[in-house]
Structure 1
Amino acid sequence: MDILRRSASLLTPEAWEELDEQAKKVLVANLSARKFVDVEGPKGWTYSAHPTGRLEIDASNSGKSVQFGVNKVLPLVETRATFELDIWELDNISRGAKDPDLYALEKAAKEIALFEEQAIYKGLATAGIEGLATAAKGSSVSLESEEPHGIVNGLSAAVFALREKAVEGPYAFVASPKLWKAIYSATPGYPTSKHVANLVDKVILSTQDESYVVSLRGGDFELVLGQDLSLGFEERNGGKVRLFFAESFTFRVITPEAIVSLT
């Protein structure tokens, strides 16, 4: 199934290489959740639903000689973000240009990455995705303040809460941009970042406003990919070429106990 249609684009191999390389940089910088969730796949475009391992028994059929249930599955979301680039500018890559104008590609790459991020962190009800924010509602720690000492105390309480629930480490601090800046800013005395490193094994800069402490032991959070984020060709119109990013995925929280939110 050649949904990407790259062979029909007439773009040079050098252009595709540059586009792929720049896209990868933007995507990696904006896909923070992939640094702590399990990623399963990619399984291909035809993988349209992921089994949960559960059967929903039809109660209305109770008492009859034949009972039945329906397998519960999570449908995969398919996303697409289109953009246009100038053909002449892409040809300049083959001429040796080191600074091609790829702003439209970078913008689309960030937008589609943030769609995945928001689905994981905040959920996507229409696709049956319960995000981390909902999963963590039953377990949160209120920060005394957003100053370094308040963050460190909050992290300590969050790690203790995970251990109290028998959730093993290693642990990661998924920090909002605001808290990230606070722990890595210059402060008098012992560096805040070292206090944090004594509590958790990894600090991850999130793209979202909320912060969490999560277990990295595996098996608690699952991102299932049909098609991983890919760059494809849509059409060529005069001096412009229309390209797109596409992806299919779903996400589920298997063990809500493995996450604590910092509020």
Structure 2
Amino acid sequence: MDILKQSLAPLSDEAWQEIKSAAKQILSSHLSARRFASISGPMGWDYAAVPTGRLDIPGGQDKKGVVYGIHKVQPLIEPRISFKLNIWELDNLARGARDADLDQLEEAAVKLAEFEEKTVYYGIKNASVTGLKDVNSSEKLQLPGSIEGLLSTVSEGITKMMDASVTGPWTLVVSPALWKQISSHFKGYPLKLQLEKLLGGPVIMGHFIEEAFLVPSAAEDINLVIGQDISIGYESHNEKEVRLFLTESFTLRVNDPASVIMIG
């Protein structure tokens, strides 16, 4: 039996199908980094760490004898969030219902997406993950005082990337507040279309960020390493409710800091 234990859940095939479909819909609309980062995997549950290609040579060794090094690795992170669903409500799906209450599932999916996104953009120090915000802090650009100045700022960022031999097309990931300003700016030619023409790629919203990030649209040097992709597992149940969980395992590696410019 695998770690997800789905076969133990008292759920119909229709219920599982609806649960997975609802989770996928929420996750796909909230995971912005997967739209530009290169994806390695999924490698499976037993893939626990990424080799960095470097050795740590402990001090105090007798250089006249055998000298050893320890391989450096970057461990994967495995988040998990539990949620409960009403069994009777899920049984209604087999009866043809199309409005089952999946609110707790949807809330859990948003929280898992937030965890992955914040890990990518802001990092987790004790997991050896440096977020996009900090990998290239010396090239940080300031948001302009008015939305009209954003085009010039993005152009400056693209110039910096080209000077560092980072090629386009590019993607601009923006906060919800900035997305609202861009989408509602219609003086003359819409600002969003002007930006996308300059970028050669899309402007997308990052639901859980407060800044903007300029990255290549196919960012080979921003690598999201996935052990187990996002999955739903079974924990327990009683006569009324089933307790499930959402989980994954992943880490982030940025091989070229010049491939990220934060605007904020």
* TM-score for both structures, normalised by structure 1: 0.96
Query: Is 1:8 aligned to residue 8 of structure 2?
Result: yes
Hey, what's the Cα distance between the residues in 2 that align with 1:252 and 1:241? 36
Give the structure 1 partner of residue 99 of structure 2.
99
Deviation sequence 1:4-54 (CA, Å, 0-9, x none) = 111111210000000000000011111111111111111111111111111
Give the Cα–Cα distance (whole angstroms) in 1 for the partners of residues 17 and 218 of structure 2: 36
Report if aligned partners of 2:192, 2:203 keep a CA contact under 8 Å in 1: no
Correspondence 1:245 to 2:240? no
Cα distance between partner residues in 1 of 2:231 and 2:31: 14
Instruction: Give the AA of the match of 1:139.
Output: E
Alignment of 1:39-50 (within 5 A): 39-50=39-50
Where structure 1 has 5 or more consecutive residues not aligned to the other structure, the ranges are: none
Give the TM-score normalised by the residue count of structure 2: 0.95
Quote the residue 1:117 is aligned against.
117
Unaligned 5+ segments in structure 2 are none
Deviation at 1:216, TM superposition (A): 2.9
Q: What is the DSSP-based 3-state SS (H/G/I as helix, E as strand, rest coil) of the residue aligned with 1:212?
A: strand
1:251 deviation in Å? 0.9
Contact residue 35 and residue 204 of structure 1 kept, 8 A: no
* In 1, Cα distance between equivalents of 2:178 and 2:169: 20
Give the superposition deviation at 1:217: 4.2
Counterpart in the other structure of 1:164: 163
Q: Which amino acid aligns with 2:244?
A: L
Give matches, 1:204-223, under 5 Å: 204-207=204-207, 208-223=209-224
Q: Structure 2 vs 1, CA of residues 173 and 62 (structure 1 numbering), >3 Å: closer, same or farther?
A: farther
How far apart are the structure 2 equivalents of 1:114 and 1:144? 27
- Contact 1:225 1:250 (8 Å CA) reproduced: yes
Q: Name the residue aligned to 2:83.
A: 83
- Give the secondary-structure state (helix, strand or coil) at the position aligned to 1:179: helix
How many residues align? The count is: 262
Whole-angstrom CA distance in 1 between matches of 2:136 and 2:26? 28
2:107 is paired with a residue of what secondary structure? helix
User: Secondary structure at 2:138's aligned position in 1?
Assistant: coil
**Counterparts in 2 of 1:62 and 1:33: CA distance versus 1, 3 Å:** farther
Of residues 27-36 and 1-10 in structure 1, the stretch that sits farther from structure 2 once superposed is 1-10
Deviation at residue 235 of structure 1 after TM alignment: 0.6
CA distance in 1, matches of 2:202, 2:64: 55
Q: Which residue of 2 aligns with 1:66?
A: 66
2:174 is matched with 175
Instruction: Work out the percentage of aligned pairs sharing the same amino acid.
Output: 42
Cα separation, 2, equivalents of 1:194 and 1:7: 48
The CA RMSD over aligned residues, in Å, is 1.3
**Aligned equivalent of 2:225:** 224
- Which position in structure 2 is the counterpart of 1:194? 193
Equivalent-residue separation in structure 1 for 2:30 and 2:218 (angstroms): 23
Ranges of 4+ aligned residues in structure 1 off by more than 6 Å: none
Give the whole-Å Cα distance in 1 for the aligned partners of 2:206 and 2:36: 11
Alignment deviations for residues 151-189 of structure 1 (CA, whole Å, 9 cap, x no partner) = 111111111111111111121111111221111114221
Q: Distance between the aligned counterparts of 1:68 and 1:37, measured in 2?
A: 35
Structure 1, 36-45 or 185-194: larger mean CA deviation: 185-194
CA distance in 1, matches of 2:95, 2:61: 70
User: Are residue 236 (structure 1) and residue 232 (structure 2) matched?
Assistant: no
Residue 62 of structure 1: how far off its partner (Å): 5.9
| 154-163 vs 60-69, greater mean Cα deviation | 60-69
Higher mean C-alpha displacement, 148-157 vs 51-60: 51-60
CA distance in 2, matches of 1:141, 1:82: 39
Distance 1:62 1:181 in 2: 63
Q: Secondary structure at the match of 1:174?
A: strand
Amino acid paired to 1:202:
P
C-alpha spacing 1:96/1:60, structure 2 compared with 1 (3 Å): same
User: What is the identity, as a one-letter code, of the residue corresponding to 1:231?
Assistant: I
* Conserved? CA contact 2:10–2:242, under 8 Å: no
